[in-house]
Structure 1
């Protein structure tokens, strides 16, 4: 019988041993999610492959949705750890570069990407305006690309808009509506239209 997910906050790993166990769970979920997607991936199989008790898995991830959100968050943190390449790039181009690279990595495993995006959308609905953990971390990556250290409400609104546009483009690729080449073009156009007028303007030189 499938376990009913508990409505509680996931536990966070603290000790080195817990963090290593947590990482094993994410690796197992990524592999199984890539192979089976969300519907066919079983939590028992994740626990078995990760070498942890099922109770341990549910302590960190009370539901399959929490597990895929955790995977999305780990992807975003890997993206945040990468050095930002902004030299010689307009801010909108720097953001587009980040989004194209993130798309490339996600689309290498389409079943897993679909599961993570659906889970993150569900998490957004449940937490409201604060946004999911993964989305908040992703916004920080985009602020860095825009060279913003103290984003104001307008900055936050524009970053939310470009994130929403990016999600829509990814869904179109995953549904075979557009190719990856068209995806990249759409991302760069969206960044230029949404962000360019605000962030790509250079100060006028004195006469």
Structure 2
């Protein structure tokens, strides 16, 4: 049974909580997930072992909190695209390419973000869903207004971009190939609404 993490209730507790997240983020960013060892954190973050496990009962809890904190920071910094008259396709491509540049600068953190966003462990479904909502809020803020059918298509674009970036992380694709896939996938946002509706009906049809 998964233990429910405590939430900081006072300023002092909040300071300890954030100190742990800051140290954990630094370790993951520089050394990857394997560099994050729970046994090292109390001394590095100047907290007690009891405080560490009160807020983060496991390394997985800590990683989810770290990624959620990171995405909340990204959301706070995300500015709407204000280029007058720019098509949704171009606004989406600008955003996806900008995210890829971040992954190129801090690939180890990006790898953790993507692993947790697709984690299938049912014990962490609520945490994964929070990451999904944050991802979508970031996209909606960065890309701006979209039609109903474009909001359906944007998930296809995001999935394609994520898969391409993961293949780059695995050494399968070059950066140029990732950018090409992102730019090509974003062209799906130009498809007319009736074509997207037809594809949705075809996808939902029961197989013969």
Name the TM tier (shorter chain): 0.7 to 0.9
Give ranges in structure 1 of 5+ residues lacking alignment.
1-5, 200-207
Q: Do 2:64 and 2:127's aligned partners in 1 also have CA atoms closer than 8 Å?
A: no
Q: Deviations over 1:113-151 (max 9, x none)?
A: 2233222322675565995212111101212234349x8
Matches within 5 A, 1:194-205: 195-197=189-191
Q: Deviations over 1:139-183 (max 9, x none)?
A: 01212234349x86x565433323222220120111111222332
Which string of whole-angstrom CA distances, capped at 9 and with x for unpartnered residues, describes residues 46-68 of structure 1?
33211112222222222222222
1:69/1:119 contact within 8 Å kept? yes
Q: Is 1:84 aligned to residue 80 of structure 2?
A: yes
* TM-score where L is the length of structure 2: 0.76
Aligned equivalent of 2:198: none
Partner of 2:139: 142
- Partners of 1:130 and 1:71 in 2: how far apart? 11
- Residue 43 (str. 1) matches residue 60 (str. 2): no
1:171 aligns with: 166
The runs of at least 4 consecutive aligned structure 1 residues that moved more than 4 Å come to 123-131
TM-score, normalised on structure 1? Answer: 0.76
Query: Which structure has the bigger radius of gyration?
Result: 2
Match of 1:121 among 93, 118, 121: 118
Unaligned runs of 5+ in 2: 194-208
2:61 to 55, 66, 79: 66
CA distance 1:196–1:131, change in 2 (3 Å): farther
2:15 counterpart residue number: 20
